[in-house]
Each structure stands twice: as structure tokens, then as C-alpha cells.
Amino acid sequence: MSSTDWETVIGLEVHAHLKTKTKMFCRCALEYGAGENTRTCPVCLAHPGALPVPNARAIEYTIKLGLALGCEISKHAIFARKNYFYPDLPKGYQISQYESPLCGSGVFVIPTADGEETVGIVRAHLEEDAAKTVHAGGATGRSVGADYSLVDFNRGGTPLIEIVSEPDLRSADEADRYLRLLRQTIVELGVSDAEMEKGTLRADVNVSVRKRGEEGYRPRWELKNMNSFTFIRRGIEAAVREQVAAYERGEEIEQSTYDYDPDTDHLTVHRSKEEADDYRYFPEPDLVPIEPPAELVDRLRGEIGELPGARIRRLAETVGFDVAEELVMTGKDWKADALAREGIEWRIAANTAMNQPDFLPENAPALAKILQANVTRDALNSAFAVSTTSIISADDYLEQTAVSDESELGPVIDRVLAANPDQAATYRGGKEGVLGFLVGQVMKETQGKADPKVVNRLLREKLQ
């Protein structure tokens, strides 16, 4: 039996730190890189009697993201206690949402080269992050071999949104595309920086396999706390490989949590997966339900602009899917748009935005004028370089027009051909690749001022 008989099934739980100024249930500041345990208070350290007060901005951000994912927004959402013990959780429970999350089921649409894929969203709920445990004997290098761990409570209580997808993804590629588009959507909504390397975006990846055509799902492995697009892809591939191998040996798969080790490309069992019962969820008695007024939801809906997925679809009609996807996913499409609105042809605008994306938006009109004016390459490069930091005037560059006058270029070309008889003979012998060298010589002779299109044409004429 070959591996093509097996189908991959992936669902993702994506966690993003919300970009609020303060924590979810207290007023402690959220500052990446602040000294350890300097942003704490009785609430986030779980002193007896301390009471949580929800962060209104975090609730708004969650609703906004829920709307962008097409989720139903709850009229009566409830915070719940998720009970478990860990040193980075001083309360002994995490405040999360369970039966009544803020955002219910939705659909996320992902444009592809052949149309679109839809991924069901089970829910998006709001919770607080745990503190950060540093195993001193391990990765920090601070005290290798130490037999203790350190906890930094600065992160404890950070508002976190968890977006749970249906198991609708069928390959590592699909999971990757989903995750990247979701990340771009989160970033553009302004609700999170969603940077994996800073830990503000993490994913738990649920992977199982089943026979093609099989109904229902087999037990899954959950790869916990994945924080790199590359490792997520490789972790999925490793899980599929190992599960298929196990089934083909006639073994069963148990539902478990796994750690992926990128160094060995293998998975090791973390612990068997707790069932929801193990957490003893119950409604948080210290917090009232969230009942978002319709006016608030309407206002937040009105604040959402055209989302990345929709922009990819729209731009793909003009510049093709691949270019559209790259432009949008790198956040460069609005630069291309700015140039296109000044009359630059879309393909050129897209190319320019991909190669020179750092210009200030205010410079788009001047840059468009310069692009249309046939200036020298040096002038163009220098205009783009300056335009990243200051406002430019097109007039400063327009005088440096490229030389396209044939009577001026003709003698230069004659000189170059006379000085390079071997290359001229090579070209005439049928090896046209040498033309680039000759164009380069003419550009050098003219200090880069010649119009390369005209030089190309004249050279071909003279070499006939």
C-alpha cells in the first residue's frame, strides 16, 4: 500500500497576543523585552482576593477579528475557568471561554491559483496567556545543567485570542497558506503584531491521516506551541510519515500531544491529551457575561477595510495570482496601488512595488512622474532611495533624461563595435547572448545615461 492511499487531515488552533496596552484582567503594561517580573500586580500574580476587570479593547479586537473571519458574534459570551496546575499559572486556572465563546462558527476564504478554498472556523475565543517558564538547564544557556526553572510573570495575563479551525486542511501546503493569510489578516486589522519569532503568534497543529474516501476522522496528534512556518510544515510532514508507517505496520494511533524537534525531524510524546473533562471548566464567578451591543458590533464591522484575501482575488485579475498573492502577503500591494492610481500600468507598478517597496506614500505622484519620464537608471534609483526618508520633487530628477537621440548614440555604438570586434563577430555568428555585453559597454561609455531600449535596437540594426 502506498502513501498516496492516505489523506492528511489538519486542523489548527492559532493563538495571537492582542496588541493592547495592558493585560487582559489588570492594568499591568504589556511591554515586550521589559525586565523579568517588572510588569506584575496582585491580580496577575493571583494574590488572594484580587479581582479581574476585563480589558474592553481586547474584547473589541476579538469581535473585529471574528467579523473578519465571518464568525457569528455572541450576544452572551461567558468567561470560564480552565483548571490545571503549572508553575506559570499562579491561580491554578486560566480564564478562558468554553461553551459560550465571543465568536462562534465562521468561514475563512483562501484564494488560490485555481479559485478558492474555504476553511471552517469552529470558534474564536478570548483568554489570558500563562506566564513564561524558562528551564534554566536548557535553551537559555544562562546556567546550563541547572536543575531549576525560572518564571517570568510579565507575560502572565496577556490577552490572547485563540482561533480554532475545522479539520478542513488537507496538506502542509494548505495549512501554510491558511496560516499566512490568517496572520496577514490579523496584522492588517491591527489587533496583533502576530510575530512568530517574538511568540505573539503560536499554533497548535492537529494532524491525523485516514484512507482516501474514509468517513470520519482517526485519532490525531497535537503538535504544541509551534512557532515557525517552516517547523509547522516539517512537523506536519513528520507526523503524517510516522502515522502512515504505524498504520501500515498494523499498529493503532493514540491521541496524544507531541513535541516536534527540528534538529532530529522527529516527534516525541509530550503527554497524553487531556479531555475537556480534565480541566473542570466552569463559568468564571468573578466576571459578568459579555453582551456586545449591536451598535458596537456595527461600528467594528465598519472599521474593517478590504481584507487581504479579497484584495488577492481582486488584484489577481490584473497581475495574475502569484504576483497578487506575493504583493498582498508582503504588505506591498498598497504601494503598487498608489503608483497605479498615478497612471502607472499595473504590471510595472507591481514590479516596482516588489523591488522598491520602501518609498513614502506621499512620494507616489512624484515617483510616477519620474517613472513615466524616461530618466536615467541612476536618476530613478536615486529618486527611490531618497523617497524612503524624505519628500521628493520630480523636477529634481526629470532633467536627467536618458539619451535616446540616435544621432548622439550612433557614434558611441560605432566606437564600441570597433573596440570589440570579437564580440561583434560572435553575435553575427548567431550567439545573441553577447548583446548584453555590448549594451553594457555603451551604457558605460555614456555613464549610464543612454536609454537601454534604444541602444538595444541600434546595436541589432548595426550588427545585421
| DSSP-assigned beta bridge partners for residue 107 | 120
Residue 265 backbone zone (phi > 0: left; psi -120 to 50: alpha; other: beta): left
User: Among residues 28 and 375, whose Cβ is nearest to Zn ion?
Assistant: 28
User: Among residues 52 and 292, whose Cβ is nearest to Zn ion?
Assistant: 52
Supply the DSSP string of 42-66, one letter for each residue: TTTTT-TT------HHHHHHHHHHH
- Check if the beta carbon of residue 235 is closer than 8 Å to that of residue 260: yes
User: Among residues 158 and 441, whose Cβ is nearest to Zn ion?
Assistant: 158
Stretch that binds Zn ion, among 23-31, 91-99, 356-364, 424-432 (CB under 5 A): 23-31
User: Among residues 156 and 292, whose Cβ is nearest to Zn ion?
Assistant: 156
Select from 126, 107, 125 the least CA-distant residue to 117.
Answer: 107
User: Among residues 56 and 269, whose Cβ is nearest to Zn ion?
Assistant: 56
- Check if the beta carbon of residue 62 is closer than 8 Å to that of residue 45: no
User: Among residues 28 and 394, whose Cβ is nearest to Zn ion?
Assistant: 28
Helix (H) / strand (E) containing 122: strand 115-128
Q: How many residues bind Zn ion (CB under 5 A)?
A: 5
- Could you give the residue ranges of the DSSP H alpha helices within 87-228? 172-189
Distance CA 359, CA 61 (A): 30
Distance CA 171, CA 237 (A): 9
User: Among residues 155 and 313, whose Cβ is nearest to Zn ion?
Assistant: 155
Supply the DSSP string of 258-272, one letter for each residue: EEEETTTTEEEEEEE
Q: How far separated are the first and last CA of the chain, in Å rounded?
A: 62
CB of 159 to Zn ion, least distance (A): 12
User: Among residues 26 and 316, whose Cβ is nearest to Zn ion?
Assistant: 26
Distance CA 222, CA 239 (A): 9
Residue whose cell numbers read 500574580: 45
Candidate residues 28, 69, 370, 455; the one interacting with Zn ion per rule CB under 5 A: 28
CB of 135 to Zn ion, least distance (A): 24
Exposure pattern of 355-376 as b/e (b: 16+ CB <10 Å)? ebbebbeebbebbbbbbebebb
CB of 90 to Zn ion, least distance (A): 11
* 130 contacts Zn ion (rule: CB under 5 A): no
User: Among residues 50 and 360, whose Cβ is nearest to Zn ion?
Assistant: 50
* 26 contacts Zn ion (rule: CB under 5 A): yes
The residue type found at 15 is H
Q: Helix (H, G, I), strand (E, B), or coil: what is residue 27?
A: coil
Residues numbered 37 to 66 that lie near Zn ion (CB under 5 A) are 41, 43-44
Stretch that binds Zn ion, among 25-33, 113-121, 220-228, 379-387 (CB under 5 A): 25-33
Stretch that binds Zn ion, among 35-43, 72-80, 84-92, 319-327 (CB under 5 A): 35-43
Residue numbers at the binding site for Zn ion (CB under 5 A)? 26, 28, 41, 43-44
